[in-house]
Amino acid sequence: MPKHAASARNSRSQPAVTAAALVALMLFVIAMIASYSGAFANPTLRHLDVAVAAPPEMLEAIKGQDALAVIESPDAARVHDLVYERRADAGFAVGPDRTLTVYVAGGGGRSVVTAAESVGRALAAETGLNVAIDDVAPTTPADPAGTVEFYAVIFLSIGASVGATLLSRTMGATRSPRILGLRTLSLAGYSALLAAGVTAYVDAALGALTGHTWQLFGALWLYAMAVGGAVTGVAAAFGTVASLLLTLFLVIVGNAAAAGPVGRPLLSGFYRLFTHIVPQGSGVDLLRSLQYFGGNGASTPVVTLAVWAAVGGVLAAAGALVRLRTADSNLPAGM
């Protein structure tokens, strides 16, 4: 084909490619707006696990509220412990002085605290009780809204996914166990660098998540490995398009489902379901458990993130094995 003909064809197709890219970008922006507005714009209490130590008539009144799931408790001390152990989102206990103590956990999300206090004050008004608020897991002065862990996780996602993609590009396809090993070590090292940088900022520089430096670093490293490993594994096994689709899903749905500015009890059923699945939800949950709850509730998010990282590793190994076998089958007979 003459050079001028190829150049003319390219010049004619360039506007179409540009238009398609701009439309795709517009759809991405709309999807982000739809996802975030659906999750954050109109938070409504949908399901709140509450520990309750109260007289029978008040206990029945609380059980009658659709949004509340009651855990009956013998006394106020047990209510306090259930909230701190993350087995309940909030708690109500009626004392002998006719005071309703509302146990909340600031570290679990300010929106959840506000919702629990609102329910408690309404109950007290109906029964003529005084109200006292007890925050069993208060946030730090540098993070009064308890959202730094959310922002740390979602922006770490960007670094982990983009870094994994760059490593895939620069190191090439995983065509042998050696390259797979080098890619895994590189990803682990890069994840450690990311985790160290974020830890240094939110702990030492910002002073928001303090007192648990090594635990914080470990959680962020595991999270970066989960996201980066998943992106790498999907790319190795199914190709670049599948990896891009996974990244878009994590950005559009995962970030909104992470239960950051709006806690899990206020999310719709759709986002509340994905909170337990996407790495962002587990990352936020893990940071909160370590920072505010003495490690209570940390086991489930650790397992979830480890599964994401492990599945990514398995997919990467499978992709390398397929490429190796394909290369062997293409060799001339006798070689």
Give residue-wise pLDDT tens across range 152-198.
999 999 899 888 888 877 766 666 677 778 888 989 999 999 999 99
pLDDT beyond 60 at 2? no
How far is 264 from 109, CA to CA, in rounded Å?
9
How far is 105 from 125, CA to CA, in rounded Å?
22
pLDDT at 61: 87
How far is 58 from 55, CA to CA, in rounded Å?
6
Q: Are 291 and 107 in contact (CB under 8 A)?
A: yes
How far is 59 from 57, CA to CA, in rounded Å?
5
Mean pLDDT for 58-86 is 93
Token output for 253: 């749905």
Mean pLDDT for 269-295 is 92
- Reported residue count of the chain is 335
Q: What is the pLDDT of residues 194-216, one digit of tens each?
A: 999 999 999 999 999 999 999 99
DSSP state for residue 333 in the 8-state scheme: T
CA angle 36, 40, 42 (to 5 degrees): 125
Identify residue 271 by its one-letter amino acid code: Y
How far is 26 from 288, CA to CA, in rounded Å?
34
The pTM of this model reads 0.87
